Amino acid sequence: MRFLANENFPLDAVEALRKNGHDVAWIRIDSPGISDPQVLSRAKQKTVFS
């Protein structure tokens, strides 16, 4: 399953999801500082193409 974790999502949770075989994009690393509407737009794109 694919997840998009926002900046405030804890690293422990990101690592646990990845350890269990999930694909996790993390805003804190991939696009730090983007606005909430930009995060939502990116999340919609992820679900459309998965």
Task: Tell me what pLDDT residue 44 has.
Answer: 86
Domain boundary assignment for the chain: 2-49
Q: What pLDDT is attached to residue 43?
A: 87
Exposure string of 31-41, with b = 16+ CB inside 10 Å and e = fewer, is eeeeeeeebee
Which amino acid would we find at residue 32? P
What pLDDT was estimated at residue 49? 38
How many CA atoms are closer than 13 Å to the CA of 23, on its beta-carbon side? 5
pLDDT tens track, the chain, 50 positions: 889 999 999 999 999 999 999 999 999 999 999 999 999 998 888 554 34
pTM of the model: 0.78
With vertex at residue 12, the alpha carbon angle to CA 5 and CA 42, rounded to the nearest 5 degrees, is 10
